[in-house]
Amino acid sequence: MAIWLIRAGSHGEYEQKFIQEKRVYVTWDDLNVDLSKLQQRSELNAAMVERYPDVKPKAVLNWVGQVWPFAHDMQKGDLVVLPLKMQPAVYIGEITGGYQFEKDGPNPFFHSRSVKWIGEAVPRTHFGQDLLYSFGAFLTICRIQRHNAEQRIVAMRANGWKAETLTAMTKVAAASTDEEEIADIDLEESARDKIATLVSARFKGHGLTRLVEGILKAQGYTTYRSPEGADGGSDILAGSGFLGFSAPRLCVEVKSEDSPIGREPVDKLLGAMTKFNADQGLFVAWGGFKGNVQKELASQFFRLRLWTQKELLEQLFEQYERLDEDLKAELPLKRVWMVASQDDAL
């Protein structure tokens, strides 16, 4: 059994299609050629050169190395790892069918395999940092083998996708010093994972509410934070202006658990907004939201915002220099600049 990484678009734009249809796809535009009829990789290389004449030969070879295994190497029973962009979680699927080609697409969905999702929205924090390095590879499709990945993921499956134990992770030696791996990973995503781990450790439970309050204060809000325990429907009240009497007036709920939040807690916040006479609401869910919660709440767009770990970290980075010094001391971060080369971009 092999473990394969596959991405649902560079921005996660196809995630819901993959999940709802229980299929994984090759997402290269215009690649309407039946891969099963190609006998050699050189034939796929020629087909790609014809369809992408402006792409450098090195990049085409890289693409061939990703697309070819989808049709010729993947097997029924293999597992696929789908890291989500929309929330800090990973879907794990078991391949249940062979390669299928649909001539009429639609573009770019010409190539697919059926899967059974056996691990749904598993929090990224449940995986060791070395596995997250592999999940952060720049490649769209690749096999994951480093750091005893196959055995560790199988063990997590048997344990109900609970967080890896320290014993399982320490059996893997010097994961972060692998020069080849460091060259392959998305350093920005890796840094986010490490910062997320630090936030989880330093701001557990009600502590995350304190961090969210700090971000709102940095944005210019005057706040009231409920004591730990029953909050009466809102963890934070925030108002604009020096005394907090100006609009917009926010009612904020914060959930720090790793598991995704369903619709019911969000509906409770909507009720609390009326109770506290708030103009808008903000629901912060560190573990993200279940299924179609965001889509179902589209009618509340002008009243409610939903933040996952992704949005919270974005606001943390944006407001970091304006945070209270005590918060910065608990969460020491440093901005780093690097060259963003596009020569070999996929």
pLDDT digits 0-9 by tens, 240-290: 988 999 999 999 999 999 888 999 999 999 999 999 999 999 999 998 898
Q: What integer is the mean pLDDT of 302-320?
A: 95
Among 131-140, 205-214, 331-340, the range of highest mean pLDDT: 205-214
Task: Show Cβ contacts of residue 98 under 8 Å, excluding neighbours closer than 6 positions.
Answer: 76, 113
Burial class from Cβ neighbours inside 10 Å (0-12, 13-18, 19+) for residue 290 reads middle
The mean pLDDT value for 229-239 works out to: 85
CA distance 62 to 65: 5
Confidence band for 176, pLDDT divided at 50, 70 and 90: very low
What pLDDT does residue 192 have? 87
Instruction: Please compute the mean of the pLDDT values over residues 45-72 and round it to a whole number.
Output: 97
Residue predicted with more confidence, 334 or 93: 93
Q: What is the pLDDT of residue 335?
A: 87
The percent of residues in the chain predicted with pLDDT above 90, rounded, is 71
Higher-confidence residue of 179 and 244: namely: 244
pLDDT of 169 over the 60 cut: no
What pLDDT shows up at residue 122?
Answer: 92
pLDDT tens-digit map of 8-48: 998 899 999 999 999 999 999 999 999 999 999 999 999 99
SS3 of the chain: the string is CCEEEECCCCCCCCHHHHHHHCEEECCCCCCCCCHHHCCCHHHHHHHHHHHCCCCCHHHHHHHHHHHHHHHHCCCCCCEEEEECCCCCEEEEEEECCCCEECCCCCCCCCEEEEEEEEEEEEEHHHCCHHHHHHHCECCCEEECCHHHHHHHHHHHHHCCCCCCCHHHHHCCCCHHHCHHHHHHECHHHHHHHHHHHHHHHHCCCCHHHHHHHHHHHHCCCEEEECCCCCCCCCCEEEEECCCCCEEEEEEEEEECCCCCECHHHHHHHHHHHHHCCCCEEEEEECCCECCCHHHHCHHHCCCEEEECHHHHHHHHHHHHHHCCHHHHHHCCCCCCCCCCCCCCCC
The pLDDT confidence band at residue 311, using thresholds 50, 70 and 90, is very high
pLDDT digits (tens, 9 = 90+) for 144-153: 998 899 999 9
Residue 133 has pLDDT above 90, yes or no: no
128: exposed, middle or buried (Cβ count in 10 Å: 0-12, 13-18, 19+) = buried
C-alpha–C-alpha distance, residues 286 and 183, integer Å: 29
pLDDT at residue 202, as a whole number: 93
Confidence class for position 172, pLDDT limits 50, 70, 90: low
Proportion of the chain above pLDDT 70, given as a percent: 92
Indicate whether 341 pLDDT > 70: no
Is the pLDDT reported for residue 346 higher than 50? no
pLDDT band for position 167 (cuts 50, 70, 90): low
Residue 175 pLDDT exceeds 60:
no
What interhelical angle do 309-319 and 187-202 show, nearest 10? Answer: 90
Chain-wide mean pLDDT for the chain?
Answer: 90
Q: Which residue has the higher pLDDT, 346 or 83?
A: 83
pLDDT digits (tens, 9 = 90+) for 65-109: 999 999 999 999 999 999 998 888 999 999 999 999 999 999 999
